[in-house]
Amino acid sequence: MKSEEIIQNVTEEKKAVEPRTDKEKERVINRLKRVEGQVRGLQNMVENDRYCMDILIQLSAVQSALKKVGFSVMERHAKTCMTHSIKDGNEEEVIDELLAVINQYSK
């Protein structure tokens, strides 16, 4: 299966194999809200004609924060969803999916 097909399959709306706990949801949502606040701060910086380097530094912080959220979601996926799929005998599909997501995520 080609990487594009795998990504298309991944982006179809699916439920988590193992539902996230309330604590897991809260942790991810809090991080995303923090990123949302940083993005709003960036908008204000642009509106207020802040120095370009200040904006770039803040942009870098937002990108870093989003990557951390992504890695935490990926870690949970590896520990739960992938583990269940491998136990069900879908090793090759799981590995292809993970590699496609990592490839997409690292762009």
Tens digits of residue pLDDT in 51-91: 999 999 999 999 999 999 999 998 998 888 888 888 888 88
The two tokens of residue 32 are: 């995303």
Domains of the chain with CATH codes: 19-105 (1.20.58.1000)
Higher per-residue confidence, 89 vs 17:
89
pLDDT of residue 66: 95
pLDDT band at 41 (very low <50, low <70, confident <90, very high): very high
User: Mean per-residue pLDDT for 36-62?
Assistant: 98
Please give, one letter per residue, the 3-state secondary structure of 8-71.
HHHHCCCCCCCCCCHHHHHHHHHHHHHHHHHHHHHHHHHHCCCCHHHHHHHHHHHHHHHHHHHH
Total-model pTM: 0.75
Q: In angstroms, how far is CA 26 from the centroid of its own chain?
A: 15
Q: How far apart are the first and last CA of the chain?
A: 20
